[in-house]
A and B are shown apart, each in its own frame.
Chain A
Amino acid sequence: MKPAKFDYVSPSTVEAAVAALVASNGEGKLLAGGQSLLPLLNFRMARPSILVDLNGIEGLSYIEDRDDRIAVGALTRHRDLEHSPLIASKLPVMSAAMRHVAHLAIRNRGTIGGSLSHADPAAELPMLATFYDATILVQGPSGRRTITPREFFVDALTNCLEPEEIVVEIEFPVLKQDGWAFEEVARRFGDFALASIAVSVLRGPSGLEAARVAVMGVADTPRRLDEAEAALVAMELDDRTPDRFSEVVVSQVSPNDDLHASAEYRKHLLGQLAKRALQTALAMKG
């Protein structure tokens, strides 16, 4: 299990990295934390002609407070997000989710840009980008552009980037919310999610003024559940609300069977997690 032969380059600027990708004619691969790429190389499932190592580029790892938005540099490690007081206070759902991201060794190396680009449908960061409706800033030969998560995640392990484009920053809006919850179930702690849900609520004069719901592990991409959000805002708040919400969430997904869980079991799990998450979110006081 050794990789096939490849060349290696370690540019010191994003421009140089883009130029290296252009020069590779679509045969190049970016190396950030390497937590998904290296196994693929060893299995020879990925056979790039050249690895463009981003780790030598300075200024791509940061967590920056922009008041109503938090900007995260693409090379920021999972461990930095997990332990950031800024993330904990402004993006509490992300903070809660980060401890579910794989294991310590992986969190030490893995990067947010790498995780989003890998686009695993059962990984936390793509789901969080979807939940927050983050702005993904990418750089290519003709400069920079921004992409929404809905455009970015095309399919399982597939993003919408052009071969010469590099994710450089992700900007997360700070949500107005009175309550939130993140729930996940995996076979073992740190494994890919069998099902997971993030919920945020903002109370209005009567009932909820706004709600936000995202799920993962139950489709080919992480998903915002617009119908469930609308339904939740329309619901009267009483003891039955979490059950009704759970039913709406389940009706919005159609997962596939796989080795670890049948579609019915995943739906059951998601329903249970939805109920629990909404109970937690509604129990919070502002």
Chain B
Amino acid sequence: MNSDRRVTPSDVLRPRNVGAPIKRTEDPRLLTGNGEYTADRKPDRPLHLAFLRSGQPHARIARIDTAAARQASGVVAVLAAEDIADDFKPVIPFSRMPNYYATPILPLASGKVRYVGEAVVAVVATSRYLAEDALELIDVEYEPLGAISRAESAVAADAPLLHEAAGSNVLIAREFKKGDVAADLQAAAVRVGGRFEMTRKAALAMEPRSYTAEYDKRRDAITLYTSSNIPGIVRDAVSEALGLPGHRLRVVAPDVGGSFGSKGSLYPEELLICIAARKLRRSVKWTADRLEDVSSSSQAFAEIVDAEMGFDENGVATSLQADVIGDVGAYSIYPWTCGLEPVQVVSFLPGPYKIGSYRGAVRGVATCKPPTGPYRGVGRPISTFVAERLMDLGAKALGIDPLEIRRRNLVRPEEFPYRIASGIIWDKTGFIECLEAAAKAAGYDQLRSEQAEARKQGRLFGIGIASYAELTGIGSRIAVAPGMPINTGSETAKITIDSTGAITAAFGVASHGQGLETTLAQVVADDLGARFEDVRVIQGDSDEVPMSTGTFASRSAVLGGGAAKHASKLLQEKIKRVASHLLEANADDIEVTEGKAVVLGTDRMVTFKQIAKAVYSDMKTLPVDARDELSATYTYDPINGTTAAATHIAVVEVDPATCFVRILKFVVAEDCGRIINPMIVDGQVHGGVAQGIGAALLEELVYDEDGQLLTATLVDYVIPSAPEVPVMDVVHVESESAVAGGFRGMGEGGTIGAPAAIANAVADALSPLDIDVSILPMTPERIFQLIETAKQKSKGKTDE
């Protein structure tokens, strides 16, 4: 713990709930099996969906014969593209970006299939078993058009086109430029570079995607229960696509078992289930099985980056250039577009460093794979991997310690706000403070001596550092995804004290594991002056607030928390006004705390219950014009948002016998501003780092040249389990941000820093063999091949 940073004046005045490690209020129901997930919904006599999915990577659909399936036992309807053509308008993932082609989102493949796993026909039956039996009776005739398996070959002039109307397989191209990179690289004392790759990944939430559309005949209305983390965006998009106004389309994300981004886009199945419910005037359910989830939910990363960095003789990075090719899969997703992941790589590549000149070019290329989409960290896991590898390569070339070279390049406290070369502005954040705190907590100098000792014994022992910065809690001035037209820059809180004195706080954000029911209640309790246990938080329900989006992009503590603070203050003013009547005191002399209004310095007080009774029930106590409904709504917009940062340090040992990497130590020093709940922050860091370990060492979706997924089960798609995740040391550098509450977003950071820190540690461990790390995950097989190649090379040298 960095003790000199912990005691600040705000800590002394710290309110009682924000900052406290309060146990999550959602846990008792979730841990005892009493949660209610989408699949737990029990509408009246629901029908069940099953999808026939394409086994072809790229083919024209010549004919679909569903006659036998329609006759099968229990089947109510069989729907192909032409059966629903008049029931919806396609959803277009629009963007103002130039050089971008928006592929429309359709509920079922129409004309062509573009990846293995794409939904072609939907069967609606009285049970999922019977629906799946009927799938086997459907005959689809395909005319193969040739798989487009690799982004690098898809850009060739003679490559078949996945979307003819786009005229190219490059769906998005963009370039960022500042200064004269070529000249600065020319003038650099040292230039380092390479080709870096982060392979394709699955998000793999524990709960697969799940939708239940509950049909209300009386009103021709639908309530869509969805495992989405963007229920607000889904409501608006489905409303538009189906021509159903919001008061006939309610979208609820109930308990959701994780997303990590994979439930953060509008899905064809979400459209289809609403279309089917409306068409059949019945409630319909569908839950993806694991195979469907892995092969049709949005995927992550899949980028190759050619990058070069120039340093002066003092180790100051002067210039950086990168060419990125992103394998974005078959479609652009709604609302983020296919630019989200790859464009973010080039916009964040300079990271927390003061690099003078920059050129970053990116192409997002269509291939026959499921679309890439948001995944915890978005773009920054790979931009950090590349920048941090380059920093270490520069340090090595110049003979400077990796810790020292970062000291020389990070934005320093006095230099904020700082605009990096790609144009992003960092507000004041503890970049240097995180670096130093991580080094201190890890015992960096001691580690380097241990390493020297280990190397004498021939052991492969490595230390890796990664520093990064991210934009969180983004307001209305910045689009979360490039050129995206919808607003994700504000969130609403609506707090009500009802006639029984109970407090309900409703939000549009949608927790899918973040613990927002706890943290938002902590904020409301402090700013309203209520007891924590008296505040009920409702979230993820489009009926509760007029407009919302959801929980993504590390936004909910900042936007939800900010809205909670403002709405709480407004409601507290109302409470004070009523209390001043009841207590015959000046409103300024009243303090609201613990669910009571108290006249300062006296024992005269009224409870919220008494106040509610006076306002709503007892028509004698208050004058009519003072009976103001005890409710306040506030829509908060942080305008720009705020920065969050961290430094990760990993210590690893590579076993030359097995080629396995063992993580000996992992330290994170992070600045997420004022901490609402340190236990939840620690949990977010632990979980994020665990996923980062997956990206660094284990996880990889492998598609073969024919576009077939080879890692479709959890036997072959290997994720970290408890033994693969080490005990971590998390240090909190709590520098308050400028947004409401001083909060910063922190849900994604663990995944951003860990892959780079582990990659640098593995490279450091293998450096006696003259091996570099340029692709993740560093599987035992890859390490074996690198060691073998290095042996051959050094043998070649000795032979000469």
Contact = CB atoms under 8 A, between A and B. Distances in A.
Interface in A141-189: 185, 187-189
B697 to A, nearest CB: 10
Interface in B623-650: none
A253 interface: no
A262 interface: yes
A240 interface: no
B784 A259 contact: no
A269 interface: yes
B784 A268 contact: yes
Most interface-central of B289, B711, B781 (chain A CB within 10 A): B781
Contacts of A276: 657
Interface string A197-226: 000000000000000000000000000000
A272 interface: yes
A272 B658 contact: yes
Nearest to A268: B784
Interface stretch (B127-135, B199-207, B383-391, B492-500): B127-135
B439 to A, nearest CB: 31
Given A260-B781, A262-B781, A269 B658 contact: yes
A15 interface: no
A272 B780 CA distance: 14
Most interface-central of A185, A189, A259, A264 (chain B CB within 10 A): A259
A187 B718 contact: yes
A182 to B, nearest CB: 15
Interface string A262-277: 1011001100100010
B723 interface: yes
Contacts of A187: 698, 718, 780
A272 B781 contact: no
A186 to B, nearest CB: 10
Interface string A47-69: 00000000000000000000000
A21 to B, nearest CB: 25
A251 to B, nearest CB: 18
Nearest to B711: A259
Contact of B657 (A3, A43, A194, A272): A272
Nearest to A275: B657
Given A259-B710, A265-B780, A188 B723 contact: yes
B659 interface: yes
A38 to B, nearest CB: 13
Interface in A236-279: 259-262, 264-265, 268-269, 272, 276
Contacts of A42: 289
B718 A191 contact: yes
A105 interface: no
B400 interface: no
A192 interface: yes
- Grouping DSSP codes into helix (H, G, I), strand (E, B) and loop, the A interface class, with mixed when no group exceeds half, is loop
A247 to B, nearest CB: 15
A285 interface: no
Contacts of A194: 780
Contacts of B781: 260-262, 265
B602 interface: no
Contact of B133 (A4, A191, A265): A4
Interface residues of B, number: 30
Contact of B718 (A2, A5, A188, A262): A188
Nearest to B724: A188
Contacts of A272: 657-658
B700 to A, nearest CB: 9
Interface string B275-293: 0000000000000011110
B778 to A, nearest CB: 13
Interface string B519-542: 000000000000000000000000
A261 B780 contact: yes
B715 A192 contact: yes
Nearest to B132: A2
B657 A265 contact: no
Contacts of A5: 129, 133
A154 B130 CA distance: 37
B289 A1 contact: yes
Nearest to B788: A264
A191 B717 CA distance: 11
Contacts of B658: 185, 269, 272
A276 B784 CA distance: 18
B401 interface: no
B291 A1 contact: yes
B79 interface: no
Nearest to B784: A265
B702 interface: yes
B721 interface: yes
Contacts of A43: 291
A188 B129 CA distance: 34
A158 to B, nearest CB: 19
A43 B292 CA distance: 12
Nearest to B698: A187
Contacts of A189: 721, 723
A97 to B, nearest CB: 18
A187 B132 CA distance: 34
A228 B192 CA distance: 49
Contacts of B724: 188
A189 to B, nearest CB: 5
A190 B714 CA distance: 13
B716 interface: yes
Interface string A24-59: 000000000000000000110000000000000000
Contacts of A260: 716, 718, 779, 781
A190 B781 CA distance: 18
A43 B715 CA distance: 14
Contacts of A268: 659, 784
Interface in A1-29: 1-5
B710 to A, nearest CB: 6
A139 B785 CA distance: 48
A189 B724 CA distance: 9
A2 B698 contact: no
Interface string B78-111: 0000000000000000000000000000000000
B308 to A, nearest CB: 31
Interface string B712-742: 0001101011011000000000000000000
A108 B659 CA distance: 31
Interface string B18-59: 000000000000000000000000000000000000000000
7 contacts: A2-B128, A188-B720, A188-B724, A189-B723, A192-B715, A259-B702, A262-B785
Given A1-B292, A189-B721, A194-B780, 7 more contacts: A2-B132, A4-B136, A187-B698, A188-B724, A191-B718, A264-B788, A265-B659
Q: Give the 9 A-B residue pairs with the shortest CB-CB distance, closest first.
A: A1-B289, A272-B657, A265-B784, A2-B129, A2-B132, A187-B718, A189-B723, A265-B781, A185-B658
